[in-house]
């Protein structure tokens, strides 16, 4: 009998369980004078290659195959069988809840365990799936068993009438998970990333999925490219992770990139975040933030707005200055100052701000601490005017920029590398456009009038582009001023740490 073919049975048994523990007898790897006509044998393939299971270790019931998280595994039998397990082990439920290393959540979610089976396919003689280990800290295993189909469920089995192999899977990549996805196009979804299998899924409330693969960009270390090129000459659908060095950081909390938010759309900049620890309490929201917004309405081009808001020390009140961006909250005219009550909402990490003078004016936002600073993000339809969609990003007020290299995308197309230099007085932008061409432009950086926390970013040579900028520890954002020439253009860049 081939070494890669496994026959495993229960000795003197009356039925058998699906676990990897007791109640299971001898391994049949040959040696029988004759093979019964109803003997079940199993062949195992990993990523299309037949492999040889190792015999059971001392005290173990099943032969074992060791694989890497993300491997595609196929089990085939010589006779029709009933397979265990018969489901994907709660794959969709697990990735929807995402944050596998939450300190306040049991990563098993009360289901079958850490192993999940993506794209599970079962026939009478084959069981195949891509193996996902949602535990980034340790190996995980599960037995795959084929029970002779001709025997009624619960009936007695001889020691040759079923076959099984125990899968032992390496730890999952700590960056795996489901990230809350906010597109500059005004769309909020969930972005599922599997760095073991190099695949992604973008899922919204309508349950439709955008799926595909991604790969590291050899020409731009630290960047990953989505397989979302479409008909474009160059692919600007890509992303980068904050704290992207797994050796230095246990996980990535923040992603910046470009991806089409739905079928038929063009790639838009996005920010995605996932929580790896307990959520912030209300007091941790306290602070003053500059907020860039892009608003869209049907039949109308996008428009920019630049505002400042302040969250009180107990985190229960938000004051927003809606006047022209030259005003800070403390100097905001009373006619332009709105006050909102803030309360936690679902899912964990999200908050709802409700105008105390108009309950129809409310907005949900995600607030997470990334590399020591709180980032506030929201996207979607406006509660007060559902015909409009908005994207908003709020960063802590910071008056001093630093020299940095940053990468990101623009709402008008293109993937750029920004280099801020000369004590944050110069900015060079090198952009790859979807038509395959490249453009380079130099800008000067100076305070916006009396506002040191907002920067006027102007081209050094005559050009139509002009921006207002904010910078934080993690992000550098440029937005077209609310004037007709360049309103609604937003560039989102992730700073190299």
* Residue at token pair 């997470």: 368
| pLDDT tens-place string over residues 274-311 | 877 778 999 999 999 999 999 999 878 899 999 999 99
Whether residue 119 is predicted with pLDDT greater than 80 in this model: the reply is yes
Highest mean pLDDT among 24-28, 106-110, 401-405: 401-405
Smallest CA-to-CA distance from 351 within 294, 304, 309, 397 is with 309
Give the Cα separation of 313 and 74 in Å (integer).
Answer: 56
- CATH class (in words) of the domain with range 282-288+295-396: mainly beta
User: What pLDDT digit, counting tens, does each position of 296-354 carry?
Assistant: 998 788 999 999 999 998 999 999 999 877 789 999 999 999 999 999 999 889 999 99
Q: What is the pTM of this model?
A: 0.84
Query: Which residues are CB-neighbours of 444 under 8 A, at least 6 positions away?
Result: 425, 426, 427, 457, 458, 460
- For 450-474, how does the pLDDT look when each residue is reduced to its tens digit (9 = 90+)? 899 999 999 998 777 899 999 999 9
Question: Using one digit for the tens of pLDDT, what is the confidence trace for 128-147?
Answer: 999 988 788 889 999 999 98
DSSP β-ladder status, 162-169 and 140-148? antiparallel
User: 97 falls in which pLDDT band (50, 70, 90)?
Assistant: low
What pLDDT is recorded for position 34? Answer: 56
Q: What is the structure's pLDDT at 161?
A: 87
Provide DSSP, 384-401.
Answer: S-TTEEEEEEEEE--S--
- Per-residue confidence (pLDDT) for residue 229, from 0 to 100: 63
With a cut of 70, say whether residue 216 has pLDDT above it: yes
Distance CA 350, CA 344 (A): 6
DSSP 146: E
1-11: average pLDDT: 43
The contacts of residue 462 (CB under 8 Å, 6+ apart) are none
pLDDT of residue 231: 65
Q: How far apart are CA 361 and CA 430, in angstroms?
A: 40
pLDDT recorded at residue 398? 92
pLDDT of residue 13: 35
| Cβ atoms of residues 111 and 59 within 8 Å | no
pLDDT of 415-457, one tens digit each?
A: 999 999 999 999 999 999 988 899 999 999 999 998 999 999 9
Residue 335 dihedral angles phi and psi, to the nearest 5°: -65, -20
Q: Is 30 a residue whose pLDDT tops 70?
A: no
Residue 71 has pLDDT above 80, yes or no: yes
Give alpha helix (H) positions in 253-337.
Answer: none
SS3 331: helix
**Domain locations in the chain?**
42-98+111-169, 282-288+295-396
Residue 16: pLDDT band (50, 70, 90) is: very low
Report DSSP state, residue 86.
-
Check pLDDT > 80 for residue 167: yes
Predicted confidence band of residue 484 (pLDDT cuts 50, 70, 90): confident
Residue 221, pLDDT > 90, answer yes
42-98+111-169 has CATH 2.60.40 classification: yes
Which range in 12-21, 61-70, 103-112 is most confidently predicted, on average pLDDT? 61-70
Q: What is the pLDDT of residue 5?
A: 52
């Amino acid at each position: 009998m081939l070494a890669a073919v496994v026959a495993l049975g229960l000795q003197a048994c009356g039925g058998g369980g699906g676990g990897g523990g007791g109640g299971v007898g001898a391994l049949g790897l040959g040696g029988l004078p004759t093979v019964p006509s109803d003997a079940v044998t199993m062949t195992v393939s990993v990523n299309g290659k037949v492999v040889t299971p190792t015999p059971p270790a001392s005290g173990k019931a099943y032969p074992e195959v060791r694989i890497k998280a993300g491997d595609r595994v196929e089990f085939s039998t010589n006779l029709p069988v009933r397979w265990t397990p018969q489901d994907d082990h709660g794959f969709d439920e697990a990735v929807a809840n995402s944050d596998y290393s939450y300190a306040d959540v049991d990563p098993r979610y009360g289901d079958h365990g850490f192993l999940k089976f993506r794209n599970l396919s079962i026939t009478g003689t084959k069981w195949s799936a891509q193996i996902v280990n949602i535990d980034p800290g340790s190996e995980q295993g599960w037995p795959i068993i084929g029970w002779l189909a001709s025997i009624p469920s619960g009936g007695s089995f001889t020691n040759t009438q079923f076959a099984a192999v125990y899968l032992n899977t390496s730890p999952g990549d700590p960056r795996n998970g489901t990230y809350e996805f906010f597109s500059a196009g005004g769309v909020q979804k969930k972005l599922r990333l599997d760095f073991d299998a190099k695949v992604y899924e973008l899922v919204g409330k309508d349950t439709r999925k955008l799926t595909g693969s991604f790969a590291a960009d050899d020409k731009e270390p630290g960047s990953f490219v989505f397989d979302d090129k479409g008909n474009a000459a160059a692919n600007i659908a890509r992303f980068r992770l904050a704290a992207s060095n797994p050796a230095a950081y246990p996980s990535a909390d923040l992603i910046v990139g470009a991806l089409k938010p739905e079928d038929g759309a063009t790639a838009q900049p996005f920010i995605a975040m996932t929580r790896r620890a307990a959520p912030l309490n209300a007091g941790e929201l306290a602070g003053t933030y500059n907020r860039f917004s892009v608003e869209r309405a049907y039949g109308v081009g996008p428009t920019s707005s630049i505002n400042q808001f302040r969250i009180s020390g107990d985190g229960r009140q938000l004051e927003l200055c809606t006047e022209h961006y030259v005003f800070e909250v403390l100097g905001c005219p009373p006619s332009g100052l709105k006050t909102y009550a803030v309360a936690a909402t679902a899912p964990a990490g999200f908050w709802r701000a409700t105008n105390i003078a108009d309950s129809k004016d409310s907005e949900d936002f995600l607030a997470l601490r990334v590399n020591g600073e709180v980032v506030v993000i929201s996207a979607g339809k406006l509660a007060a005017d559902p015909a409009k969609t908005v994207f908003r990003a709020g960063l802590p007020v910071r008056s001093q920029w630093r020299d940095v290299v940053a990468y990101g995308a623009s709402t008008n197309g293109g993937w750029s590398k920004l280099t801020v230099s000369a004590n944050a007085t110069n900015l060079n932008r090198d952009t790859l456009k979807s038509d395959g061409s490249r453009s380079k432009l130099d800008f000067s950086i100076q305070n916006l009038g009396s506002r040191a926390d907002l920067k006027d970013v102007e081209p050094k040579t005559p050009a139509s582009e002009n921006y207002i900028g904010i910078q934080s520890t993690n992000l550098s954002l440029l937005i077209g001023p609310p004037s007709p020439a360049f309103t609604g253009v937003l560039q989102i860049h992730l700073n190299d740490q």
